[in-house]
């Protein structure tokens, strides 16, 4: 188990656990280290579970250390801020030739670690590798469903974080359950439009890695993105909301990258645009909500 932070690795070794997973033992044969070369010694599979904006830097560190192409499973959910690339596209640039798959779906790490029932999408363009990974990663409480649509799996995981911030804003502003339901549903429509333009299958986005993850992240207080949006809706600044939270809030960096990606593909995503404007454009929350509600009426399936 490799940790980017040497102090985190040392703490896991000293205590046999992590403060982010209270009550969960991390003990032999699992060993925590901050030495990447040591962590890679003899491996035949890599799970990339760093934040999305750290994936490229990690890949650049991995490149000289990999003696052979080892399959990498992407666990990060986001879009690269500078390039607008999906994580698989980042890996294709930074580690060309490496076999990849995507693990995504409605998961909170604490529940997975505690052995609570969880179902996810394992998406891989290579069906043989995908089937092997499902068999390797599946557990009695952790059920991967195989998909051949890694683009859809990644879009679902990235877009839902931005929509969860919007749901949090709705909650923080006290706008009610009707508004939340409308936002989730219209947000799903945005996700499907983007997926269609990017070559994803709608069935993928209606599954665990799309609708499933969207429902979880937009309704659970365990969600960092929802919690940040709630803090914003209650009147805190972005700086204050981030300082009060815990860990990485992927939707903050993904929101503007998502908007640029959608515009480049000619896809209309007004909710994502609104979140990006509030987070990074100084837009008023109340004025932005009013503008969304004032949009021209249209057919629901348009």
Give the contacts of 242 (CB within 8 A, at least 6 positions apart): 228, 249, 252
Centroid of chain to Cα 295:
29
CA gap 138, 143 in Å, rounded? 5
Other CB atoms closer than 10 Å to residue 71's CB: what's the count?
A: 19
Catalytic residue among 77, 160, 198, 298: 160
160 is annotated as an active-site residue:
yes
What's the alpha-carbon Rg for the chain, to the nearest Å?
A: 19
C-beta separation of 154 from 204 below 8 A: no
Q: Is 269 left (phi over 0), alpha (psi -120 to 50) or beta?
A: beta
In angstroms, what CA-CA distances link 290 with 185, 195, 267, 285? 18, 27, 22, 9
Angle, helices 250-264/177-198, rounded to nearest 10 degrees: 50
Residues 6 or more apart whose Cβ sits within 8 Å of residue 5:
34
Residues 258/159, Cβ–Cβ less than 8 Å:
yes
Cβ-contact 215, 106 below 8 angstroms: yes
Give catalytic residues, as residue numbers.
160
């Amino acid at each position: 188990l490799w940790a980017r932070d040497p102090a985190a690795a040392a703490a896991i070794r000293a205590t046999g656990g992590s403060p982010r997973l209270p009550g969960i033992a991390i003990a032999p044969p699992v060993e925590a280290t901050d030495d990447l070369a040591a962590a890679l010694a003899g491996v035949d599979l890599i799970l990339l579970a760093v934040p999305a904006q750290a994936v490229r830097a990690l890949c650049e560190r991995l490149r000289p250390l990999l003696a052979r192409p080892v399959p990498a499973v992407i666990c990060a959910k986001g879009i690269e801020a500078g390039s607008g690339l999906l994580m698989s596209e980042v890996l294709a640039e930074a580690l060309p030739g490496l076999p990849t798959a995507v693990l995504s779906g409605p998961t909170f790490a604490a529940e997975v670690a505690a052995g609570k029932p969880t179902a996810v999408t394992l998406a891989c363009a290579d069906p043989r590798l995908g089937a092997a990974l499902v068999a390797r990663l599946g557990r009695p409480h952790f059920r991967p469903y195989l998909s051949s649509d890694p683009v859809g799996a990644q879009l679902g995981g990235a877009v839902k974080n931005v929509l969860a911030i919007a749901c949090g804003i709705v909650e923080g502003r006290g706008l009610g359950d009707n508004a939340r339901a409308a936002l989730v549903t219209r947000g799903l429509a945005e996700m499907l439009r983007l997926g269609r333009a990017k070559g994803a299958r709608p069935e993928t986005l209606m599954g665990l890695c799309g609708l499933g993850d969207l429902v979880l992240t937009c309704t659970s207080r365990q969600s960092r993105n929802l919690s940040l949006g709630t803090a914003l809706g209650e009147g805190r600044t972005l700086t204050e909301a981030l300082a009060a939270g815990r860990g990485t809030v992927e939707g903050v960096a993904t929101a503007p990258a998502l908007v640029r990606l959608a515009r480049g593909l000619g896809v209309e995503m007004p909710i994502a645009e609104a979140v990006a404007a509030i987070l990074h454009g100084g837009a008023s929350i109340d004025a932005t909500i009013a503008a969304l509600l004032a949009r021209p009426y249209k057919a629901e399936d348009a």
